[in-house]
Structure 1
Amino acid sequence: MEIRHFRYFLAVARQRNFTRAAEQLGIAPPTLSRQIQDMETSLGTRLFIRQQREVSLTEAGAALLSEAEATVRQFEFAQRNAQRAGRGEIGHIELGYVASALYCGLLQRQVRGFSQAFADVNVNLREWAMAALPGAVADGRCDIGYIRSPMTLPDGVEAVRLDSEGFVLALAHDSWLLGLKAITCECLENETFILPEQISGTLHVAAQGGYAPRLGAQPGGLVAVVALVSLGQGVAVVPASMVGHVSLPGVVYRTIQGNEASSWLSLIYRRFEKAPAVARYIQQVKQSVAAAPSRPGA
């Protein structure tokens, strides 16, 4: 027997009449009658007591009724779920991010917007070291990732450029630099630079000041960078979004006058992504970028 046999059986059981059931199903009454007979032959028992104008269930038919209803419901549920999965409306996404995606609020906005639109997609979020995240996306340990660019990506991994922002200087509260009216790139020539994972800002400041930077530790995430600054180990060039979001005792943030360096967040993903839920997320981010008004420096 096939699922259609259960549908035919249920139509006759509900209508109590072959003609009305056939009309409901959109088939000819003789075809319906033959299908029910095939069902009864397969089961080896009668399902209906046939009268001139109406039919009624036998005991075997009554026993089959609730099971047939459950079978059809489960079949339809499986169909709907498969269709929804194919459209990316259900599924699972492994999402990696670097901390600065949180400080500017971009990660929260995009994940919340996606989850509101596709509540049945499970998005599992995990913070990654930025150097490891592109490789994790490339080899499938992560489906998508938020990194701070510019950054070299593995083959097969592409990026959507998102929000841009400038850099600020993190320095100890007792630094001599705070006595200056303005801090320029040239003022930092003799300072030790604590390096964040994304070092482009540090290198740009040194290049603009005309010197090779004196490099200190590279402890990992931005909080660890600022922690070393608070301990008097040096200064750090960090994303401007840290101001007001990461505050440690003994650390102040200052503008670097004349510095026009910027970095930007990117969503990275596999070029030929096939998982519908992941592809749906990427599509939504691209649409939000296309719809957003252009900003200076973005």
Structure 2
Amino acid sequence: MEIRHFRYFLAVARHRNFTRAAEQLDIAPPTLSRQIQDMERTLGTRLFIRRQRDVSLTEAGTALLAEAEATVRQFEFAQRNAQRAGRGEIGHIELGYVASAVYSGVLQRQVQGFCAQFADVSLSVRESPMALLPGLVAEGRYDIGYIRSPMTLPDGVEALRLGSEGFVLALPQGSWLLGLKAITCAHLQNETFILPEQISGTLQVAAQGGYAPRLGPQPGGLVAVIALVSLGQGVAVVPESVVGHVSLPGVHYRTIEGSDASSWLSLIYRRFEKAPAVARYIQHVKHKLVPTGPGGVGSSPPTA
């Protein structure tokens, strides 16, 4: 028997009349009658007591009724779920991110916006070392990732540029630089730079000051970088979004006058992504991108 047989059976049981059931099913009454007879032959028992004007269920038909209803419900549920999965409305996404995606608010806006629209897609969201994240996306350990660009990506991984932001200087209590009215790139020539995972800001500041930077340790995430600054181990060039979000004793943030060093967050993903839920997330982010002026595009509202 096929699912259509159960639907035919339920229609006759509901209407207690072959003609009315056939009208609902949009088939000819003789066709419906033959389909029910086929069911009865397959089951080896009568399902309906046929009278001149109506029909009623036999004991076998009554026993089949609840099971047929459950079978049709389950089939329709499975059909809807398969269709929704194909449209990316249900599924699962593994998402990795670097800390500055949280400090900027980009991760929160995009994840919450997606979840509000596609509540049946589950997300596993974890912080990841930035140096490893592109490779983990390429390998399929993560479906998508938020990194701070620029950085080299593996073959098959693409980046969608989000909002740009500048850098600030994190320096320890007692630094001679705090006595300056304005700190420029040149003032940092003899400083030791604690390196975040994305070192482009440090290199840009040194290049604008005209010197090779004295490179200190690279301890990992931004909190670890700021912790070393608080211990007096050096200064650090960090994204502006850190200000107000990472506050440690003995750490001060200052603007670097005359520096136009900047970086941007990127959403990275596999070029030929086949999972519908992941493709739906990527499309959701692309749809939300709006122009932010000469610097490119960013998520709305712009990165703080």
Name the TM-score class by shorter chain. over 0.9
SS of alignment partner, residue 5 of structure 1: helix
Which residue is equivalent to 1:124?
124
Whole-angstrom distance in 2 between the partners of 1:295 and 1:167: 18
Query: Quick one: distance in 2 between partners of 1:185 and 1:262?
Result: 14
**Structure 1 equivalent of residue 237 of structure 2:** 237
Distance 1:131 1:293 in 2: 29
Residue number in structure 2 paired with 1:74: 74
Counterpart code for 1:192: T
Superposed displacement of residue 297, structure 1 = 2.7
Q: How does 1:179-198 map to 2 (within 5 A)?
A: 179-198=179-198
Letter in 2 for 1:270: R
| Aligned-pair identity (%) | 83
One-letter identity of the residue aligned with 1:43: L
The structure 1 residue matched to 2:295, chosen from 269, 294, 297, is 297
1:95, distance to aligned residue in structure 2 (A): 0.5
Which whole-Å CA distance do the structure 1 matches of 2:215 and 2:111 have between them? 36
Alpha-carbon distance between aligned partners in 2 of 1:31 and 1:205, rounded to the nearest angstrom: 81
Question: What is aligned with 2:178?
Answer: 178
- For residues 201 and 295 of structure 1, the distance between their equivalents in structure 2, rounded to whole angstroms, comes to 21
Q: Which amino acid aligns with 2:263?
A: S
In structure 2, the gaps of 5 or more residues are 297-304
Task: Please give the secondary structure, in 1, of the residue aligned with 2:154.
Answer: coil
SS at match of 1:197: coil
What stretches of structure 1 move > 6 A for 4+ residues in a row? none
Aligned to 2:28: 28
1:262-281 correspondence to structure 2 within 5 Å: 262-281=262-281
Specify the alignment match of 2:301 in structure 1: none
Q: 1:225 aligns to what?
A: 225
**Amino acid paired to 1:177:** L
Is 2:4 the counterpart of 1:4?
Answer: yes
Q: State the number of aligned residues.
A: 296
Distance 1:90 1:296 in 2: 37
What secondary structure, in the 3-state scheme, does the structure 2 residue paired with 1:93 have? strand
Query: Partners of 2:203 and 2:197 in 1: how far apart?
Result: 12
SS of corresponding position for 2:113: helix
Q: Map of 1:26-105 to 2, 5 A cutoff?
A: 26-105=26-105
What is the alpha-carbon distance in structure 2 between the residues aligned to residue 98 and residue 293 of structure 1?
24
Q: What is the CA–CA distance in structure 1 between the aligned matches of 2:212 and 2:234, rounded to whole Å?
A: 15
Matched residue SS, 2:274: coil
Structure 1 unaligned regions, length at least 5: none
Work out the CA distance in 2 between the residues paired with 1:293 and 1:208. 28
1:151 paired residue number: 151
Give me the whole-angstrom Cα distance separating, in 2, the residues matched to 1:24 and 1:244. Answer: 65
Give the match's secondary structure for 1:126: strand
Question: 2 CA distance for matches of 1:90 and 1:83?
Answer: 9
1:89 alignment partner, SS class: coil
Q: 1:147-200 CA deviation, whole Å, 9 max, x = no partner?
A: 000011000000110010000000001100011111111100100000000000
Q: Distance in 1 between matches of 2:204 and 2:76?
A: 60
User: What amino acid is aligned across from residue 112 of structure 2 in structure 1?
Assistant: R
With structure 1 as the length reference, what TM-score do the two structures score? 0.98
Q: How far is 1:295 from its partner?
A: 3.4
- Report the Cα distance in structure 2 between the residues aligned to 1:58 and 1:295, rounded to whole angstroms: 75
Deviation at 1:296, TM superposition (A): 4.6
* Structure 2 residue matching 1:269: 3-state secondary structure: strand
- DSSP 3-state at the match of 1:33: helix
RMSD (Å) for aligned C-alpha atoms = 0.7
